Amino acid sequence: MLTLRGLTKRYGGRTAVDALTVDVVPGKVTGFLGPNGAGKSTTMRMILGLDRPTSGTALINGKRYGEFAQPLREVGALLDARAAHPRRTARGHLLAMASSQGMGARRVAEVLDIVGLTDVAGERAGSYSLGMAQRLGIAGALLGDPGLLLLDEPVNGLDPDGVRWIRTLLRTLAGEGRTVLVSSHLMSEMERTADRLVVIGKGRLIAEAPVTDILARGRTGAVTVRGPEPEALRAFAGVLTDEGARVRESAPGELDVTGLGLERVGDLAHERHVRLHELRASGTSLESAYMRLTSDAVEYGQRPTPTAA
């Protein structure tokens, strides 16, 4: 289990992480989300002892990272896919890591097989594509068979098959009872992979909840109504308005309705003999829910493109 209590990091007058208190629990994939500059990488560096907190603690099963005699057996981390020395082979890189923890060539062979790099393990890491480098970094994270995995943007550079592979791997690791914390800017992938989310902005905690709860916060309560007779549907819009709904024609033959529940809209359509081809509650994507959550926490907002005079 990973426990953060009041974790804070300041650089001069700038606060990168601000009193972050979070529990990352075993058995679930926890997505770590936030805009650029939110403090995600700094938080991971403090967990691993690479940056010293200004205040607060980051504990792994009750201990700081530096207290472990063999840290790779406790925590596996991928912060930089290009961290391997470019002139070392993938196998050589992993053997050097393994020897520092009392592990041998057999375990190196196992993780190379897990990540699919066995056939290219004799090639230099500098010749690897970004996707291959990601796989090598993940192999290093898995080397000690740790109970906690910290992965920073592990999907970057992977092709669709690789994305599906890392999704399956993360869920398998969590299913084995491990603690998995993974950051990503790919909202669609986090929606499919993560069980829980930790969302931060400007160093502060914005949300910590199951993915389903985050999605529920983003729902607008709208109902989509679609039918084959646009004129009849426009007349039906007046009926809905009389019932207190707010109605917008989003396309010919399609209405967006708010203020009335799905069942009531369906009952009214039945009573008025309005033919419908679709009646559904409008959901939301993780991307839209995330954008709502972080709208006030964007560090580097986009400015309007200037127009020519």
- Per-domain residue ranges for the chain? 2-211, 220-282
Question: Which DSSP category does 88 fall into?
Answer: S
In whole angstroms, give the CA distance from residue 176 to residue 60.
18
Task: Give the pLDDT of residue 262.
Answer: 86
pLDDT band at 218 (very low <50, low <70, confident <90, very high): low
Which range has the worst mean pLDDT, 21-30, 151-160, 297-306?
Answer: 297-306
**Residue 142 pLDDT greater than 80, yes or no:** yes
Q: Are 211 and 194 in contact (CB under 8 A)?
A: yes
* 299 Cβ contact partners less than 8 Å away, ≥ 6 residues apart: 35, 36, 37, 38, 201, 202
Higher pLDDT, 292 or 86: 86
Task: Give the pLDDT of residue 90.
Answer: 97
**Residue 184 pLDDT greater than 50, yes or no:** yes
Provide the pairing of β-strand 148-152 with 223-226: unpaired
Question: Which DSSP category does 177 fall into?
Answer: T
The dihedrals phi and psi of 195, each to the nearest 5 degrees, come to -95, -40
pLDDT band at 30 (very low <50, low <70, confident <90, very high): very high
Q: Are 91 and 121 in contact (CB under 8 A)?
A: yes
Buried b (16+ CB within 10 A) or exposed e, 92-128: bbbbebbeeeebeeebbeebbeebebeebbeebbeeb
Tokens of 187: 């909202």
Task: Give the pLDDT of residue 220.
Answer: 62
pLDDT band at 230 (very low <50, low <70, confident <90, very high): very high
**Residue 284 pLDDT greater than 50, yes or no:** yes
In whole angstroms, give the CA distance from residue 22 to residue 59.
11
Tokens of 70: 């063999």
The dihedrals phi and psi of 74, each to the nearest 5 degrees, come to -105, -40
Q: Where does 72-178 have alpha helices with state H?
A: 90-99, 105-115, 130-142, 160-175
Provide the pairing of β-strand 55-60 with 2-11: antiparallel
Task: Give the pLDDT of residue 123.
Answer: 97
Task: Give the pLDDT of residue 251.
Answer: 86
Task: Give the pLDDT of residue 308.
Answer: 47
Task: Give the pLDDT of residue 213.
Answer: 86
Task: Give the pLDDT of residue 297.
Answer: 77
Instruction: Identify the CA nearest to 196 among candidates 61, 92, 302, 286.
Output: 286
pLDDT band at 219 (very low <50, low <70, confident <90, very high): low
List the CATH code of the domain at 220-282.
3.30.70.1510
Q: Are 144 and 68 in contact (CB under 8 A)?
A: no
Task: Give the pLDDT of residue 305.
Answer: 46
Q: What is the mean pLDDT of the chain?
A: 91
Task: Give the pLDDT of residue 283.
Answer: 65
Residues constituting the chain = 309
Q: Is 29 exposed, middle or buried (0-12, 13-18, 19+ CB in 10 A)?
A: buried
In whole angstroms, give the CA distance from residue 201 to residue 177.
29
**Residue 243 pLDDT greater than 90, yes or no:** yes
**Residue 214 pLDDT greater than 90, yes or no:** no
Q: Does domain 2-211 fall into CATH 3.40.50.300?
A: yes
In whole angstroms, give the CA distance from residue 171 to residue 150.
14
Provide the pairing of β-strand 204-210 with 75-78: unpaired
Which range has the worst mean pLDDT, 11-20, 33-42, 223-232, 299-308?
Answer: 299-308
**Residue 301 pLDDT greater than 70, yes or no:** no
Q: Please name every residue paired with 280 in a beta bridge, in sequence order, or none if there are none.
A: 224
Reading phi first (left if > 0) and then psi (alpha if -120 to 50, else beta), residue 178 is in beta
pLDDT band at 93 (very low <50, low <70, confident <90, very high): very high
End-to-end CA distance of the chain: 58
Q: What percent of the chain has pLDDT over 70?
A: 94
Task: Give the pLDDT of residue 198.
Answer: 97
Higher pLDDT, 309 or 269: 269
Matching fold, domains 2-211 and 220-282 = no
Calculate mean pLDDT across residues 83-105. Answer: 95
Calculate mean pLDDT across residues 270-278. Answer: 95
**Residue 300 pLDDT greater than 70, yes or no:** no
